[in-house]
DNA sequence: GTTAGCACTCTGCCCGGATGAGTGCTAAGC
DNA sequence: GCTTAGCACTCATCCGGGCAGAGTGCTAAC
């Protein structure tokens, strides 16, 4: 059996209707509401075929039919190609502008926009920095026994930790250590900061001068500890309660299952990490890895810094999701987010302007 | 009518039963299960009195009776006085230890413990820093046009912002500005950093030297902007889905109402800010300000730094809450949290050790 | 003051019939 | 040969009645 033009038209009508109404749809409704110029009986025959092909299922004998994940997949693939985002682009631009002071807040605001516009639950997987490179380490005195270690990456993301020192560290020694650490570690990926590297660098230093700052070792060890924290990925949601608006989750048990799953950020992170690195990914129902979200679809986009994917932002909702709307929304948002990140967090000073100066 | 001893005993039995079973309780059950040595008929008479006194209500004629908020209040007041926390103290101590690297994570972990132990939803209102005083400001170079401003408070909480400068700032000028800002602003409360102060300090500086660092103004303005962010209070939850376990919220509408309310962190913050500053606060049902949580109770404890309340941590659940358990849990946790904050975030160097040195 | 007994009330549950939406099949029409 | 009208059949949902059970309030006896 072939999936001819008419079948596709009917399928599209069914999917679209089911997305918006949430109820199984029958042949009569299709033939009446969508004027395809054929009677309900004909639609009935076609629907029977579509069921055989695996695009539709009947919840029970006398109910209408409901699209399967396979149907959604077909629908989405057709949509993605020619989805426009003009509808939202301007609005998003306006809202996002002026909220870019702090990276994390900026991204969270973006998530809020997503959930508010779409009425689904939005998520953000926050920066994953293992891959990024160190630019500078600076120790700042706080009090006699405490000092602050500020770690700046090449992407200008900053992390800081308070170090408790057993013995006070005078300010000039602090600067020496800062400079030495920066000098030795600049350009290295955060994930490469491990014991091996530590041993290597220590050896190097002690081979030059017999005795060096006695605090250096301590500070270095604390730096390694801090780096461990970078490995944790965090997930943040907005519009969690939107889920409860959909009849799919009017049953508390179902809602609980999904919400619990999402609350366990590790699982959710693993869902998002598993995806291919495409800019826009749609994962429908059974395509998802975990049972708990096999009745959901996840639409996610990447955000990048210097061309490197540092996080994801997107939406999760029932498979009966308004893909058309959602996809253009996510597309538009991620485009704007990426543009703003480029404009605000990338270090033009080094790469571009220096070049230009030389040329000019 | 008086609330005699027997009435209190019966009331306590009813409250306790209702808390654990979640179902209206009848006279027969009371007289059988809790051996008070009286028949169901007597209990019936007493219950009738208790209803008249406003401690009980009947959902409908042939149902048992259910405690009112007034009954819970009585119950809680009796409990709070002699609640012990021995049961949890040791466990909590063990878990909390070793998670204290970073203030915010530490507090969030504490919230997780709360929700996991109690099966209610826990919350944290994160540090409110308006009242705390500045200790140090340090500018750190990042790239030609960008610099990092690190702001350290007296409580060793750190905040940082990336500043985009129109014109490059050389490192020595940066240090001069850092020192000047620190010198002028040290000991001032964050909330006092406003335009007036700016004008005042500017005048002072320019009266001494005719021209000063031209970047000083820019940096100061950016500092003021940053301070605005401190005014925002954030609320964080753990165990949100626990709510769905209670029959009170088996209805999705109800659940949605509550969850939506909590998701709007502004309202939740305002609930917590409104409370008196007591170390342990219990707010039952109608005692709450907002309609959405008039069927909930909120148990919260403060956490402090240098004796100043900087946040709250606690639990929210149905008024039919296991107060006994919850109160000892929150008490035990907050005690430990406060102890660990004292040990790890307070600047002993200044206040204590200096004293001791002099004495020794 | 306490208790046993009894009539009364009200909810929740189960059951069966009615309703209606939708299907599949068949036979007639273009 | 595809399309369509007609019809029997299926199944979920809704509704009302009847029944069981829990609990009360009242009364009268102890």
Whichever domain contains B180, its CATH number is 3.30.390.60
Residue B349: the pLDDT is: 38
pLDDT band at B333 (very low <50, low <70, confident <90, very high): very high
Which chain C positions come under 7 Å from a protein C-beta?
A: 2-5, 8-11, 20-26
pLDDT band at A250 (very low <50, low <70, confident <90, very high): confident
Residue A245: closest C-alpha in chain B? B256
Q: Does residue A306 carry a pLDDT above 90? A: no
Given A67, A93, A113, which residue is the final one in a domain?
A67
In the complex, which nucleotide's C1' lies nearest to the CA atom of residue B44?
D24
Query: Are residues B143 and A263, on separate chains, in Cβ contact within 8 Å?
Result: no
DSSP sequence for B221-275: HHHHHHHHHHT---EEEE-GGGGGGSGGG-SHHHHHHHHHHHHSHHHHHHHHHHS
> Cβ of residue A49 near strand C, that is under 7 Å?
no
| Whether residue A247 sits in one domain with residue A201 | no
CA of A23 to C1' of C30 (A): 35
Distances (CA, A) of B328 to B76, B78, B124: 11, 13, 18
Look up tokens 């090449």; give the residue: A154
Q: Does residue A131 carry a pLDDT above 60? A: yes
pLDDT band at B201 (very low <50, low <70, confident <90, very high): confident
Q: Does residue B76 carry a pLDDT above 60? A: yes
pLDDT band at B132 (very low <50, low <70, confident <90, very high): confident
Query: Are residues A241 and B256, on separate chains, in Cβ contact within 8 Å?
Result: yes
Range of the domain at B16: 5-67
| Whether residue A29 sits in one domain with residue A152 | no
Which of residues 298 to 337 on A have a Cβ less than 7 angstroms from any strand C atom? none
Q: Does residue A260 carry a pLDDT above 90? A: yes
Q: Does residue A64 carry a pLDDT above 70? A: yes
| Whether residue A325 sits in one domain with residue A279 | yes
Distance (Å) from the alpha carbon of B220 to chain A's nearest alpha carbon? 16
Query: Are residues B152 and A148, on separate chains, in Cβ contact within 8 Å?
Result: yes
Residue B231: the pLDDT is: 63
For position B50, which CATH number holds? 1.10.10.10
Average pLDDT over residues B2-15: 92
> A289 or B223, which is more confident?
A289
| Whether residue B284 sits in one domain with residue B139 | no
Which residues are CB-contacts of A267 (< 8 A; sequence separation ≥ 6)? A261, A290, A292
- The answer to whether the beta carbons of residues B265 and A108 sit under 8 Å apart is no
Distance (Å) from the alpha carbon of A293 to chain B's nearest alpha carbon? 16
Whether B73 is covered by a domain: the verdict is: no
DSSP 8-state symbol, A350: I
- The answer to whether the beta carbons of residues A109 and A101 sit under 8 Å apart is no
Residues of B in Cβ contact (< 8 Å) with A243: none
Query: Are residues A241 and B249, on separate chains, in Cβ contact within 8 Å?
Result: no
Q: Does residue A83 carry a pLDDT above 80? A: no
Residue A352: the pLDDT is: 39
> Cβ of residue B47 near strand D, that is under 7 Å?
yes
| Whether residue B246 sits in one domain with residue B205 | no
Q: Specify the number of domains making up chain A.
A: 3
pLDDT band at B211 (very low <50, low <70, confident <90, very high): low
> Cβ of residue A86 near strand C, that is under 7 Å?
no
Distance CA B324, CA B332 (A): 12
| Whether residue A274 sits in one domain with residue A208 | no
> Cβ of residue A41 near strand C, that is under 7 Å?
yes
| Whether residue A237 sits in one domain with residue A226 | no
Write the pLDDT tens digit of every residue in A315-344: 999 999 999 999 999 999 999 999 988 887
The percent helix, strand, coil of chain B (3-state, each to 5) is 55, 20, 25
Residues of A in Cβ contact (< 8 Å) with B143: 156, 347, 349-350
> Cβ of residue A96 near strand C, that is under 7 Å?
no
Average pLDDT over residues B107-124: 95
Whether B54 is covered by a domain: the verdict is: yes
Whether A61 is covered by a domain: the verdict is: yes
| Whether residue B241 sits in one domain with residue B122 | yes
Q: Which of A11-15, B223-227, B298-302, B351-355 has the lowest mean pLDDT?
A: B351-355
> Cβ of residue B24 near strand D, that is under 7 Å?
yes
Taking one residue from A and the other from B, the number of pairs with CB-CB distance under 8 angstroms is 113
Distance (Å) from the alpha carbon of A106 to chain B's nearest alpha carbon? 13
| Whether residue A238 sits in one domain with residue A341 | yes
Which chain D positions come under 7 Å from a protein C-beta?
A: 3-6, 9-12, 21-27
Average pLDDT over residues A152-178: 79
> B179 or B232, which is more confident?
B179
Distance CA B341, CA A147 (A): 17
- The answer to whether the beta carbons of residues B49 and B4 sit under 8 Å apart is no
Distance CA A77, CA A68 (A): 14
Whether A343 is covered by a domain: the verdict is: yes
Residue A150: closest C-alpha in chain B? B150
| Whether residue B176 sits in one domain with residue B124 | no
Which of residues 49 to 68 on B have a Cβ less than 7 angstroms from any strand D atom? 51, 58, 61-65
Whether A200 is covered by a domain: the verdict is: yes
Phi-psi region of B98 (alpha: psi -120 to 50; beta: other; left: phi over 0): left
For position A103, which CATH number holds? 3.30.450.40
Query: Are residues B101 and A240, on separate chains, in Cβ contact within 8 Å?
Result: no
Whether A78 is covered by a domain: the verdict is: no
Residues of A in Cβ contact (< 8 Å) with B162: 156, 158
Whether B216 is covered by a domain: the verdict is: yes
Which residues are CB-contacts of B255 (< 8 A; sequence separation ≥ 6)? A244, A252, A255, B243, B244, B249
| Whether residue B242 sits in one domain with residue B121 | yes
Q: Which of B106, B109, B140 to mutate to test the interface with A (most CBs of A within 10 A)?
A: B140
> Three-state SS for B356?
helix
Hey, which of A242-256, B45-59, B128-142, B304-318 has the most confident mean pLDDT?
Answer: B45-59
Which of residues 234 to 293 on A have a Cβ less than 7 angstroms from any strand C atom? none
E strand spans, chain B:
56-57, 66-67, 121-125, 134-141, 146-153, 158-164, 235-238, 280-284, 296-305, 308-318
Distance CA A344, CA A303 (A): 14
Query: Are residues B241 and A249, on separate chains, in Cβ contact within 8 Å?
Result: no
Q: What is the mean pLDDT of chain A?
A: 85
Whether A74 is covered by a domain: the verdict is: no
Structure tokens, A233? 């990925």
Buried b (16+ CB within 10 A) or exposed e, B113-149: bbbebbbbbbbbbbbbbeebbbbbbbbbbbbbbbbbb
CA of A59 to C1' of D7 (A): 23
Query: Are residues A255 and B251, on separate chains, in Cβ contact within 8 Å?
Result: no
In the complex, which nucleotide's C1' lies nearest to the CA atom of residue A62?
C22
| Whether residue B166 sits in one domain with residue B48 | no
Residues of A in Cβ contact (< 8 Å) with B353: 144
Residue B226: closest C-alpha in chain A? A101
| HEC letters along A89-115 | HHHHHHHHCCCCCCHHHHHHHHHHHHH
Q: Which of A103, A126, A136, A152 to mutate to test the interface with B (most CBs of B within 10 A)?
A: A152
pLDDT band at B252 (very low <50, low <70, confident <90, very high): confident
Given B175, B201, B230, which residue is the final one in a domain?
B230
Query: Are residues A158 and B160, on separate chains, in Cβ contact within 8 Å?
Result: yes
Question: Which of A144, A240, A348 is facing B259, going by the closest CB pair?
Answer: A240
pLDDT band at B215 (very low <50, low <70, confident <90, very high): confident
Query: Are residues A140 and B144, on separate chains, in Cβ contact within 8 Å?
Result: no
Residue A89 neighbours by CB distance under 10 Å: 16
């Amino acid at each position: 059996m072939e999936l001819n033009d008419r079948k596709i038209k009917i399928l599209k009508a069914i999917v679209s209707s089911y997305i918006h109404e949430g109820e199984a749809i029958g042949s009569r409704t299709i033939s009446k509401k969508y004027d395809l110029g054929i009677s309900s009986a004909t639609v009935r025959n076609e629907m029977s075929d579509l069921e055989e092909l695996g695009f539709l299922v009947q919840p029970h004998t006398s109910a209408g039919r409901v699209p399967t994940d396979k149907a959604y997949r077909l629908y989405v693939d057709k949509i993605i190609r020619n989805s426009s985002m003009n509808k939202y682009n301007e609005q998003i631009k306006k809202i996002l502008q002026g909220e870019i002071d702090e990276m994390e807040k900026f991204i969270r605001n973006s998530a809020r926009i997503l959930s508010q516009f779409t009425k689904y639950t939005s998520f953000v997987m926050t920066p994953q920095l293992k891959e990024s490179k160190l630019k500078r380490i600076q120790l700042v005195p706080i009090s006699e026994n405490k000092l602050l270690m500020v770690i700046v990456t090449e992407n200008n993301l900053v992390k800081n930790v308070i170090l408790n020192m057993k013995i006070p560290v005078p300010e000039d020694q602090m600067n020496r250590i800062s400079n030495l650490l920066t000098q030795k570690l600049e350009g290295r990926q955060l994930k490469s900061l491990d014991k091996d590297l530590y041993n290597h660098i220590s050896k190097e230093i002690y081979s030059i001068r017999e005795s060096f700052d006695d605090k250096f070792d301590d500070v270095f060890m604390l730096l390694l500890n801090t780096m461990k924290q970078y490995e944790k990925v965090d997930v943040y949601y907005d519009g969690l309660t939107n889920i409860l608006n959909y009849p799919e989750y009017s049953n508390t048990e179902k809602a609980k299952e999904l919400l619990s799953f999402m609350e366990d950020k590790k699982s959710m992170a693993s869902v998002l990490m598993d995806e291919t690195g495409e800019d826009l990914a749609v994962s429908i129902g059974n395509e998802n890895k975990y049972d708990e979200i096999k009745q959901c679809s996840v639409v996610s986009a990447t955000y990048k810094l210097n061309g490197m994917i540092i996080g994801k932002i997107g939406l999760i909702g029932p498979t009966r999701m308004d893909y058309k709307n959602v996809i253009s929304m996510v597309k538009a948002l991620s485009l704007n987010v990426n543009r703003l990140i480029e404009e605000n967090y990338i270090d033009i000073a080094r790469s571009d302007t220096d070049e230009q100066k030389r040329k000019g």
